[in-house]
Amino acid sequence: MSLRPAVITGVGSYVPDRVLTNADLEQIVDTTDDWIVSHTGIRERRIAADDQASSDLGLAAARRALEDAGLGPEDIPLIICATITPDHLFPVTAAFIQDGLGAPAAAYDLLSGCTGFVQALWTARQFVATGECEHVLVVSADKLTSITDWSDRSTCVLFGDGAGAAVVSAGEGDPSATGLLAFELQTYGEHGSLLRVPAGGSRRPVDQEALDAREHCLRMEGPELFKLAVRGIPDIAERSLAKAGLTYEDIDWLIMHQANLRIIEAAARRLRVPDDRLVINIDKYGNTSAASMAIALDEVYRDGRLQPGHNILMVSFGAGFSLGGAVIRWGS
């Protein structure tokens, strides 16, 4: 079977209007703007309204991506939504997006954290490359503030809400020279307990005891994850580049998961990618989980920095513990 190139033909993103600044957080927990900025690089984040669920954020981003691709809902046969904050345990969040768009599409979720966008692009590529679908809509949407423990200063200062989307379509030419060139993904389940929501699944259903202990909220061992990320990023990045037949010198844009500015800068130094090729928006949005890199991709595209022929290296890390790398050659 000959494979077709899979290219990104449209991107879009959406963040809620409400801004929560570090000064606002100083009123909620024992923290300071100084600590947050110096330890994370975050200055503010967006917070979804009470009546906005992840699918609402995702739907707004999806509409923008479809418009950018010049496609209508009728052109989309498959929607994949990456999220760890689904509207409900089921039906899947992608089903709400499918209904909102009115697309005659199959729709399913990829229950994953920050690596979700790369995982979903990787999945979409298979459907497009093999000829199964002409277009796949990938949506990354997270309302992390719905699982944030607002009494825990070590986590509540980190997260924000948002969504990003990309349309993956069949391209023309050599699949090794156009579009989604290469992926490398790996999960290290032995570190899974470092980032989790302890209650609410089949192992630990939510009961009063769980609620009292706030086990329905996100728990994170930040320093341990920090070390895993800084150690794991160069390896997954190198493997992704090698698979694409590229080196760091070929990279025009490094888009990393926006979890911590210190992680991004430390990794960029190790990867020998200069600062002016880094895409950074953590200062405005905090960590938006699966949405983080999709929002960053949309920003660098819409402000004109990303040009046809540019090579993008995406590197993500997060719950699992998982790592993901993607190399993309941007189309026209």
Q: Residue numbers of the site for ligand ACO (CB under 6 A)?
A: 31, 35-36, 39-40, 113-114, 153-154, 157, 195, 222-223, 225-226, 229, 259-260, 263, 287, 289, 318-319
Q: Give me the catalytic one of 133, 257, 260, 310.
A: 257
Written as six digits, the tokens of 173 are 């030419």
Written as six digits, the tokens of 36 are 């947050």
Helix, strand, coil percentages for the chain (3-state, nearest 5): 40, 25, 35
**Whole-angstrom distance, CA of residue 64 vs CA of residue 94:** 16
Give the list of residues 6+ apart from residue 70 with CB closer than 8 angstroms, or none: 9, 10
Q: Say whether 287 is catalytic.
A: yes
**Nearer to ligand ACO by C-beta: 181 or 293?**
293
**Whole-angstrom distance, CA of residue 332 vs CA of residue 314:** 19
Smallest separation (angstroms) from ligand ACO to the CB of 273:
19
Helix, strand, or coil (residue 9) = strand
Q: Give me the catalytic one of 22, 260, 281, 287.
A: 287
**Nearer to ligand ACO by C-beta: 221 or 252?**
221
Smallest separation (angstroms) from ligand ACO to the CB of 259:
4
Cβ pair 10, 66 in contact under 8 A: yes
From residue 7, alpha-carbon distances to 41, 83, 134 in Å are 32, 22, 11
**Which neighbouring-strand residues pair with 10?**
167
Smallest separation (angstroms) from ligand ACO to the CB of 304:
29
Q: Say whether 257 is catalytic.
A: yes
Q: What does the radius of gyration of the chain's CA atoms come to, in whole angstroms?
A: 19
**Nearer to ligand ACO by C-beta: 78 or 114?**
114
Cβ neighbours around 80 below 10 Å, total: 26
Smallest separation (angstroms) from ligand ACO to the CB of 38:
9
**Whole-angstrom distance, CA of residue 106 vs CA of residue 224:** 38
How do strand 135-143 and strand 6-14 relate by DSSP bridges? unpaired
**Nearer to ligand ACO by C-beta: 122 or 330?**
122
Smallest separation (angstroms) from ligand ACO to the CB of 27:
13
**Nearer to ligand ACO by C-beta: 91 or 198?**
198
Smallest separation (angstroms) from ligand ACO to the CB of 223:
4
**Nearer to ligand ACO by C-beta: 45 or 135?**
45
**Which neighbouring-strand residues pair with 226?**
none
Q: Which residues are catalytic?
A: 114, 257, 287
